[in-house]
């Protein structure tokens, strides 16, 4: 599933970037070499980051979707 249509970025790529250490939407975009174009994906990226923080606070990692 595409999370960022402007850059053809998938959910799996976002989750991988977060699992590799991205802590902000800016860092996710940096890791994926994806510029902020329309910004429609901002809320979705923040939701994935928030989910990862909750999982990490419980000692878990989010699943990587291929
Ligand atoms: S959908 Fe991500 S910048 Fe447009």
Domains and CATH numbers, the chain: 2-57 (1.10.10.1100)
How much is the pLDDT for 63?
A: 62
Mutate to test the pocket of ligand 1, among 38, 44, 47 (most ligand atoms within 8 A of CB): 38
Mutate to test the pocket of ligand 1, among 40, 45, 47 (most ligand atoms within 8 A of CB): 40
In which element (H, E) is residue 43 found?
Answer: helix 42-57
pLDDT: is 5 or 62 the higher one? 5
Q: Against a cut of 0.95, is the pTM above it?
A: no
**How does pLDDT run across 2-42, given as a tens digit for each residue?**
999 999 999 999 999 999 999 999 999 999 999 999 999 99
Centroid of ligand 1 to alpha carbon of 59 (angstroms): 31
């Amino acid at each position: 599933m595409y999370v960022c249509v402007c850059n053809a970025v998938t959910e799996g790529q976002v989750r991988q970037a977060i699992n590799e250490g991205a802590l902000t939407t800016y860092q996710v975009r940096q890791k994926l070499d994806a510029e902020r174009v329309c910004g429609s994906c901002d809320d979705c990226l923040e939701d994935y980051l928030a989910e990862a923080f909750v999982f990490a606070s419980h000692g878990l990692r989010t699943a990587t979707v291929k």
